[in-house]
Amino acid sequence: MKSVSIIDRKKCFSCRSCVQICPKNAIDMQENNEGFFYPSVNESKCVDCGLCLKHCPSFAPYEKNDFKKISYAVWLKDDKKLFESSSGALFSAAAEKILKNGGVVFGAAYNADLFVEHICIEDINELYKLKGSKYVESTTNSTYSKALFYLKNGKKVLYSGTPCQIAGLKKFLGKDYENLFTMDLICHGVPSERLFHKYLEWQSGQLGGKIIYCGFRDKDVGGCSCNGKIKTKTKTKTKTKTKTVLSALDPYYSSFIRCETYRESCYSCPYSSLERPGDITMGDFTEITEIIPGFDFSKGLSLCIIDTEKGLALFNLIKDSFNIVSLEFSQYISIKSNLQKPSERPAVRDFVYSGILELSAKEFFKRFKESSRFYFIRFYIRKILSKITPSFVKKIVKRIIRGKAK
């Protein structure tokens, strides 16, 4: 059989390249008990053409390039636009440049029901939809096919996503297009949308209203930090209530940070290295103080790795809008673990998703919080120690820990 049905599920990224390339519409995506989606082949429609395998990034890896990578720490000079972004506004500036030149931009956005999906925008007034961190798996839907349509019609296309989504796009296209620009994220892993919506249901019960907004890494609540914000509307829809979400104390957020809720393929991700499928790699960069002590990143900061000639061309179009610090790989490679290896699969991973179908949101997250009690206690202890420990001692401890991790 020459179809994606032979792919090990632990290696499937759910990029949907196979669904979009199939000439017989023989493949659809089916949800498993945890809420992750996998391709299912209708054998009565399949003609064994092999196109889905040929265009699968798990089966046939993308081609590497020999471009000498360039690295920067960047943050936008425009404070207002910087504040609207999760980190240093690197993606926002690139997207704005493409849109102003008549191009289109693809990225992850919440829909009306707070499901995260990739969409295409042509109007700069819609750019806000693509801004902000979304710590949940995004579905690409038919955006690869849509990107191909615009590319064939000569439009500039900017596509952003996780590295596996970018790899999926490039395998789907089958060749390079001069008018295509891609930006991939330094990604830890993705939880399922079922877990995310279980969490929203739980928060809704806690707050007594329908969730209308969930922001991760929201600068309204602590500057450039991992803290977030949730907004609800009351049943009468006359009032809005806002709740600050402290990442270390929130069950969904903290389990994400501890790598407990990811898709199985995330734990063996082939893109957790400096070999990237995108033209530009981007990520938050709060760790810069370990390179430049005392550096003020409170307004937001991005790590920018230029991976290709096209990436360099795109960066050159926007670089005057940024404050820039040049970096060497040796300065940050040990800090950014997901540029070295995939996130490690913790023993608690299976327990986290058990009961997600059977238990109510209240019961599910009560158990979730109980299992995380140790981490909450540790958070408070570390917070107290951080305040009373001299900075030079902290640096020594970090170096020792990093040395042991190598």
pLDDT in tens, 109-146: 999 999 999 999 999 999 999 998 899 999 999 999 99
Q: Of 74, 133, 95, which is closest to residue 321 (Cα–Cα)? A: 74
As a whole number, the mean pLDDT across the chain is 87
Residue 102 has pLDDT above 90, yes or no: yes
pLDDT at 392: 59
Distance CA 324, CA 78 (A): 13
User: Residue 186's closest CA among 337, 21, 384?
Assistant: 337
User: Residue 251: is its pLDDT beyond 90?
Assistant: no
Q: Residue 163: is its pLDDT beyond 80?
A: yes
What is the band of 228 on the pLDDT scale with cuts at 50, 70, 90? confident
Check: CB of residue 280 under 8 Å from CB of residue 305. yes
Q: Which residue has the higher pLDDT, 392 or 285?
A: 285
Structure tokens at 327: 């970096």
Pairing of strands 157-161, 180-185: parallel
Task: Say whether 228 sits in a helix, a strand or coil.
Answer: strand
Q: Where in 240-372 does DSSP place strands (E)? A: 240-245, 280-284, 302-306, 322-327
Q: What's the chain's Rg over C-alpha atoms? A: 21
With a cut of 50, say whether residue 397 has pLDDT above it. yes
> Is 391 a residue whose pLDDT tops 80?
no
Residue 403's pLDDT is 55
* Token code pair at residue 176: 């390079």
Which domains, and CATH codes, for the chain? Answer: 4-54 (3.30.70.20), 62-371 (no CATH)
Q: Are the C-beta atoms of residues 331 and 295 closer than 8 Å to each other?
A: no
The answer to whether the CB of 50 falls within 8 A of the CB of 2 is yes
Q: Which of 278, 274, 273 is nearest to 168 (CA)?
A: 278
Q: State the pLDDT confidence band at 240, using cuts at 50, 70 and 90.
A: confident
Quickly state the pLDDT bin for 222 (edges 50, 70, 90): low
Q: What whole-number distance in Å separates Cα of residue 215 and Cα of residue 203?
A: 13
Judged against a pLDDT cut of 90, whether residue 45 lies above it is answered with yes
Provide the pLDDT for residue 340: 92
At 5 the pLDDT is 80
CA neighbor of 357 nearest in space, from 160, 156, 144, 194: 194
Q: What is the mean pLDDT of residues 269-275?
A: 92
State whether residue 230 is helix, strand or coil. strand
| pLDDT of 404 | 47
Mean pLDDT of 8-24: 94
Q: Are 286 and 224 in contact (CB under 8 A)?
A: yes
Alpha-carbon torsion angle 273, 275, 276, 279, nearest 10: 140
Helix (H) or strand (E) holding 157: strand 157-161
Pick 61 or 103 by higher pLDDT.
103
Q: Check residue 405 and give its pLDDT.
A: 46
d(CA 131, CA 216): 11
**372: amino acid identity, one letter:** S
Residue 236, pLDDT score: 59
**What was the pLDDT predicted at 244?**
75
**Is 153 a residue whose pLDDT tops 70?**
yes
Task: Tell me the DSSP string of 47-59.
Answer: ----HHHHT-TTT
Task: Decide if pLDDT at 272 tops 90.
Answer: yes
Distance CA 338, CA 282 (A): 12
* Partners of 284 in the β-ladder: 302
Percent of the chain with pLDDT over 90: 61
Does residue 406 surpass a pLDDT of 80? Answer: no
Long-range contact pairs involving 43-49 (C-beta distance under 8 Å, separation at least 24): 46/1, 46/3, 48/1, 48/2, 48/3, 49/2, 49/23, 49/24
User: Would the pLDDT of 73 be above 90?
Assistant: yes
DSSP state of 197: H
